[in-house]
Amino acid sequence: MMDVAIVGAGIAGIACARRLAGAGLVPVLFDKGRGIGGRVATRRADGLQFDHGAQYVTVRGDAFAAVLDAAETREAVARWQDGSGRGRWVGTPGMSSLAKALAQGLEVRQRAEVTALRPDEGAWMLRVRDAWHRAARVVVTVPAPQVAGLLGADHPLVAPLAAVGFAPSLTLMAALSAPAPFVTRCDPDDPLSWIAQDSSKPGRPASDAVAWVAQASAAFSRRHLEDDPDDIAAAMLPLLCDRLGTAPDRAVHAAAHRWRYAHVTAPLGQPCLAAADGTLCLAGDWCLGPRVEAAWTSGTAAADTLLERMP
């Protein structure tokens, strides 16, 4: 039987696992994806790469600052001078590098989607594909709207999640053989609320084309959320080219990604949720706010809660 099973290998899950491992437990992370880090992600295609989820990391507290300092020492992160004058960190050579560095030494089972959880004589059973696994404790770090699908709508921890709100985000990854007029552009009222010259980040691979990431506004994203990815890219590329002052035929690559639960708009307001018996915790950025640091803080809090309630 596993000490602790953690559902989701995003930043919250990794933070939880690190704290538990430091306390002498052996956590196991399960993630449905082929990569780890959740929205701290990097997509590679045609010799290009794009940070198509979280664009950068900011720091407010000393604890997370120490995490980034250690990652910088290992050359997994660097400061991004994007002209904003703000302290922004990025993974190097891609945002996913941060997650990989933080997860080093942990047991992560990828392409292992947990599709059901059920209590079992003081422990928990997890279904992964057609097999069941047993764990003494479980931490769930999936987006709040997905928790009911694992625990059941009538579980006591599900009801408080109704107050948590999310906004979707559609992301365009494009490479253009045209001059770059700026590094970043942020306009919440524009259909493309965020545009970043991704290739301006430190450690990015050299290319003849400029790599851009454009993230659509919540309104645009909701309107096109169920569109085919190719149709999303076709709709967003002309908008990007218009903002860059160039023509769509200068694009040498264009692809889109759909983030259904991208931005927390109404957080839970507490670091984590825990069952009364201390064997189950819920965590994620949705507990505290739409920041990577919030995910780390929440995952760490979930680990501390389990440790405090262990016999």
We report the CATH number of the domain holding residue 95 as 3.50.50.60
Question: What average pLDDT does the structure give for the chain?
Answer: 96
Between CA 36 and CA 99 the distance in angstroms is 7
Q: What is the DSSP letter of 37?
A: B
- Within 10 Å of residue 190's Cβ, how many Cβ atoms? 16
User: Can the peptide bond before residue 156 be classed as cis, meaning omega within 30 degrees of 0?
Assistant: no
We report the CATH number of the domain holding residue 250 as 3.90.660.10
The tens digit of pLDDT for each residue in 133-151 reads 999 999 999 999 999 999 9
Query: Could you give the percent of the chain with pLDDT greater than 90?
Result: 96
Three state DSSP letters for 74-104: CCCEEECCCCCCCCCEEECCCCHHHHHHHCC
Q: Say what the pLDDT of residue 311 is.
A: 82
> Which is higher by pLDDT, 281 or 83?
281
- Residues 179, 299: one domain? no
Reported pTM? 0.96
- Residues 72, 91: one domain? yes
Range of the domain at 26: 2-164+266-308
Task: Please say whether the beta carbons of 269 and 164 come within 8 A.
Answer: no
265 torsion bin: left (phi>0), alpha (psi -120 to 50), beta (else): alpha
- Residues 120, 171: one domain? no
Burial class for 65, CB neighbours closer than 10 Å (0-12, 13-18, 19+): middle
308 pLDDT more than 90: yes
- Residues 15, 78: one domain? yes
- Within 10 Å of residue 266's Cβ, how many Cβ atoms? 13
Between CA 205 and CA 90 the distance in angstroms is 14
- Residues 112, 234: one domain? no
- Residues 105, 64: one domain? yes
Between CA 15 and CA 9 the distance in angstroms is 9
The tens digit of pLDDT for each residue in 203-222 reads 998 899 999 999 999 999 99
Residues 105-116, mean pLDDT to the nearest whole number: 97
Task: Please say whether the beta carbons of 110 and 34 come within 8 A.
Answer: yes
Residues 187-197, mean pLDDT to the nearest whole number: 97
54 pLDDT more than 90: yes
Structure confidence at residue 83 as a pLDDT band (50, 70, 90)? confident
Structure confidence at residue 123 as a pLDDT band (50, 70, 90)? very high
The tens digit of pLDDT for each residue in 224-283 reads 999 999 999 999 999 999 999 999 999 999 999 999 999 999 999 999 999 999 999 999
- Within 10 Å of residue 208's Cβ, how many Cβ atoms? 8
84 pLDDT more than 90: no
- Residues 156, 200: one domain? no
- Residues 47, 153: one domain? yes
Q: Say what the pLDDT of residue 85 is.
A: 85
Burial class for 90, CB neighbours closer than 10 Å (0-12, 13-18, 19+): buried
The tens digit of pLDDT for each residue in 274-301 reads 999 999 999 999 999 999 999 999 999 9
Between the two ends of the chain, the Cα-to-Cα distance in Å is 17
- Residues 243, 282: one domain? no
Q: Per mean pLDDT, which range of 82-86, 117-121, 130-134, 232-236 is the poorest?
A: 82-86
Which residue, chain included where needed, has tokens 């993974």? Answer: 91
Burial class for 252, CB neighbours closer than 10 Å (0-12, 13-18, 19+): middle
Between CA 22 and CA 30 the distance in angstroms is 19
Q: How many domains does one find in the chain? A: 2
46 pLDDT more than 90: no
